[in-house]
Structure 1
């Protein structure tokens, strides 16, 4: 843990101090806010194969799904040799997380093979499992190599920031729209809260993202930051198809399961494109897929998530 991250962990509510930069709408962002996310992912070991994590002082009514996924992956990675990189994870969101109490992560060392290592993690609160994750790690190996090309999109520097886009809607949207922002998000497609005014549209959402600051050279941390960010904007592609959006329409939703495959090394503090689309929605569930591309066009990760989406007329 960096010294800045240690200070952030000791003072998680300090994101509104005068020394912390704010965007045009007064939302804290930048290196101090990113350091607090790094501290959030630096779990406390309390016993062999058991770790404890906390939520930020400012949280939604439920623990953010990307947070518990990132923390669970940290717990798994802390039990794996450093020469093995995570290449896939599969997770289920079982119960809503309570941000007011710590989360205990219990790691099962399922298998240690010559090339692959498998771990299973359960996250527990109030004596019940709220989340489960299986992750597989592999040594670096040479082999065949190909990837889909990145879509042609504008450079992130040419696009407005989230704070510039959200404007006066921030208070109406509530929830995560009002929280400190450790991830810089730049919309390539029209933001879903304005697209809804013209009704249903293509089931697609594209954003540039990056950790809003500089991260240490820790491969596991960069992967866990990407897992955290992957739960942001993903289900927006489902809602776009129906011309509705969180906080502005009668939409209730939650992540049900989440799968990721990590294809190539990357840095989470460099720009990456998150290209999301939705192939199907039915039975109050929506399926979304996402592809992460590095700034130079490399496909670095693929995401699939099914979410519960109840939309009232």
Structure 2
């Protein structure tokens, strides 16, 4: 995948019936299905059963089994509730006879109310001053660890620019934080809000567990640590567009018992908070 059109082709599912949909998978450099893909495809299935123009405001999901890249995923949607203001959907994802994932999503009618938000972090380096993943691969090339180099060589429809990163050649512990600017590649005009939320959900599963590894970066890295998303929650606050860079500001309040907890906020460049994310992941040292 190289552009947003490729990503949309992945996220928009084939309809089997009014409440069942099929999806395929594309690798992001891992031998198993990327969690963000399953999250976004499940939201695509849920949103297509909403007929009253209600807007997704929150979702909560659990990853139960690793997904097989070669096997189609079937998403079954249950219409839990259509109330006066909110509609709730439950989505179950299957491969063959195995349930690999479950999601609950809530949709809210458009209403006016009080507004406030936290401030965007100050003194964040702008994306123009930073190296992208593509730039890192070109600049450091063969000096990168083999696994990291292979990961960065995968073509993606999103450009990522971290404000800082752990130097694999000079490992040292870092604060439990991580910030990444990101931007879509290709034509992003005329995307409706539901589609933008699905794309944002896909992107939200990238990078977030980095903040759980940073405090241990002197000894822990992706090559000697088993990581996997265990659950994922997301809240959507405001409409937005992808025409400029967005900032994903992440932190990890806790790591314990081979699990790391992380949370993040996604801002527009001008400081508008559009979504918040929380995830717990497996962060298991691999025994030598």
TM-score (norm 1): 0.85
2:24 maps to which residue? 54
CA spacing shift, 1:259–1:241, aligned 2, 3 Å:
same
Q: Does 1:102 align with 2:72?
A: yes
Q: Does 1:212 align with 2:188?
A: no
CA deviation vs aligned residue, 1:44-65 (integer Å, no higher than 9, x gap): 0011200000012776310000
Q: Does 1:246 align with 2:219?
A: no
Other structure's SS at 2:10 match: helix
Q: Distance in 2 between matches of 1:297 and 1:252?
A: 34
Q: Distance in 1 between matches of 2:6 and 2:28?
A: 12
Other structure's SS at 2:120 match: coil
> Cα offset for 1:158?
2.2
2:155 maps to which residue? 180
Other structure's SS at 2:31 match: coil
Q: Distance in 1 between matches of 2:28 and 2:229?
A: 20
Q: Distance in 2 between matches of 1:47 and 1:236?
A: 39
> Cα offset for 1:287?
0.1
Q: Does 1:270 align with 2:240?
A: no
CA spacing shift, 1:300–1:253, aligned 2, 3 Å:
same
Greater Cα shift, 51-60 or 290-299: 51-60
Contact 1:119 1:136 (C-alpha < 8 Å) held by counterparts: yes
Runs of 5+ in structure 2 lacking a partner? none
1:23 maps to which residue? none
List aligned pairs for 1:31-110, cutoff 5 A. 33-56=3-26, 60-81=30-51, 83-110=53-80
2:115 maps to which residue? 145
> Cα offset for 1:40?
0.3
Q: Distance in 2 between matches of 1:172 and 1:57?
A: 15
CA deviation vs aligned residue, 1:233-286 (integer Å, no higher than 9, x gap): 000000001113213xx1111100000011111123431100000000001000
CA spacing shift, 1:65–1:79, aligned 2, 3 Å:
same
> Cα offset for 1:170?
6.9
Q: Distance in 2 between matches of 1:199 and 1:59?
A: 25
> Cα offset for 1:154?
2.0
Q: Distance in 2 between matches of 1:227 and 1:144?
A: 25
CA spacing shift, 1:196–1:228, aligned 2, 3 Å:
farther
Q: Distance in 1 between matches of 2:10 and 2:30?
A: 15
Q: Distance in 1 between matches of 2:146 and 2:195?
A: 32
Give 1:236's match in structure 2, choosing from 205, 210, 214: 210
> Cα offset for 1:131?
0.5
Q: Distance in 1 between matches of 2:117 and 2:27?
A: 41
TM-score (norm 2): 0.92
2:95 maps to which residue? 125
Give 2:105's match in structure 1, choosing from 135, 138, 145: 135
Contact 2:58 2:105 (C-alpha < 8 Å) held by counterparts: yes
Q: How many residues align?
A: 279
1:163 maps to which residue? 134
> Cα offset for 1:162?
1.1
Q: Distance in 1 between matches of 2:64 and 2:78?
A: 18
CA spacing shift, 1:262–1:57, aligned 2, 3 Å:
closer
